[in-house]
Amino acid sequence: MSFIRNILKNSRSQEDGNFFLQLQQTLGFKPKKKNLYRKAFTHRSMNIKDEKGNPINYERLEFVGDAMLGSVIASYLYGEVPHGDEGYLTKMRSKVVSREHLNELGKELNLIDLVISRIPKDNFGDNIHGNLFEALVGAIYLDKGYKFCESFIYKRVINPHVDIEKLEGKVISYKSLLIEWCQKEKKTFDYEIYEDTGNDALKHFAVKLSIDGKVVSKGRATSKKKAEEKASKRAFFAFQTQMAKHS
């Protein structure tokens, strides 16, 4: 039995070594509190608990990382755009830390390769990439402190990706934009979920967007929110000229 235990122990040790080697190559520094990074890449489907019965997964670290990103980005924008009022700064920060952008950052670092889960990686939606990125930022903050984490965010987020002029013109929610226009122009609008007949492995939702009683666009995605956004984006481009005239 001791022979088998030693084999299992050595196997786990080798697995840990590979994990932290890959992580170090991704991050460019050596983690100190290794348990934090293990937690940052453990999905809740593993159903692991510590000795006090608390769940071990990345969700709490995701919360910390979200706060850190918001804090550092807010400070950067405050210094970089002295003319921006509170509403402007809030909107710009939302664009930098949008779910879409965080997903792109997670994909850029191939964080999905490090995740430990009972769910096949092909079955995850896009948001897993952004969730892991936030959890990683949370782990870095708790491991290395504020200044080190701030430097990481500058290196991975602000310096390569934050362009104030481009961000000002970036739309983060076509649905919000379209609803605002409809309300301003006193047009009725309706998002209707209808039966999806696709044969995809992942469940999809289909949406019809009607304006003034006429179907103007459709969207299909893995969530209702995404399907509505897709339909809104198509409608936005269809009505772009009219919207520009009345903006």
Say how many C-beta atoms besides its own lie within 10 A of residue 81's C-beta. Answer: 15
Q: What is the mean pLDDT of residues 134-139?
A: 98
**Is 122 tagged catalytic?**
no
And the tokens for 41?
């890449």
Output the pLDDT for position 142. Answer: 98
Closest listed residue to residue 102, CA positions, set 161, 152, 147: 161
Distance CA 16, CA 51 (A): 20
CATH of 9-168, one of 3.40.50.300, 3.40.190.10, 1.10.1520.10, 1.20.120.330: 1.10.1520.10
Domain locations along the chain:
9-168, 174-245
* pLDDT tens-digit series, residues 68-104: 999 999 999 999 999 989 988 988 898 899 888 999 9
Distance CA 206, CA 192 (A): 8
Question: Binding site residues, as ranges?
Answer: 62, 131, 134
* pLDDT tens-digit series, residues 105-132: 999 999 999 999 999 988 898 899 999 9
Output the pLDDT for position 200. Answer: 67
pLDDT at residue 2 greater than cutoff 80: no
pLDDT at residue 3 greater than cutoff 60: no
Say how many C-beta atoms besides its own lie within 10 A of residue 61's C-beta. Answer: 26
Catalytic pick among 134, 150, 228, 229: 134
CATH of 174-245, one of 3.30.160.20, 1.10.760.10, 2.160.10.10, 1.10.287.90: 3.30.160.20
Q: What is the mean pLDDT of residues 183-206?
A: 83
Do 220 and 204 meet the contact criterion of CB atoms below 8 Å apart? yes
Distance CA 24, CA 22 (A): 5
Output the pLDDT for position 100. Answer: 87
Q: Which residues pair with 206 in a beta bridge?
A: 194, 220
44 residue type, one letter: R
Output the pLDDT for position 93. Answer: 92
* pLDDT tens-digit series, residues 37-65: 999 999 999 999 999 999 999 999 999 99
Question: Binding site residues for Mg(2+), as ranges?
Answer: 62, 131, 134
Q: How many CA atoms does the CB half-sphere of 33 hold within 13 Å? A: 12
* pLDDT tens-digit series, residues 201-237: 677 889 999 999 999 999 988 888 888 989 998 988 8
Output the pLDDT for position 67. Answer: 97
**Is 134 tagged catalytic?**
yes
Q: What is the 3-state secondary structure (H, E, C) of the chain?
A: CHHHHHHHHHHHHHHHHHHHHHHHHHHCCCCCCHHHHHHHCECHHHCCECCCCCECCCHHHHHHHHHHHHHHHHHHHHHHCCCCCHHHHHHHHHHHCCHHHHHHHHHHCCHHHHCECCCCHHHCCCHHHHHHHHHHHHHHHHHHCHHHHHHHHHHHHHHHHCCHHHHHCCCCCHHHHHHHHHHHCCCCEEEEEECCCCCCCCCCEEEEEEECCEEEEEEEECCHHHHHHHHHHHHHHHCHHHHHHCC
Catalytic pick among 16, 51, 59, 66: 66
CA dihedral 23→28→34→39, nearest 10 degrees, is -50
And the tokens for 103?
């997903």
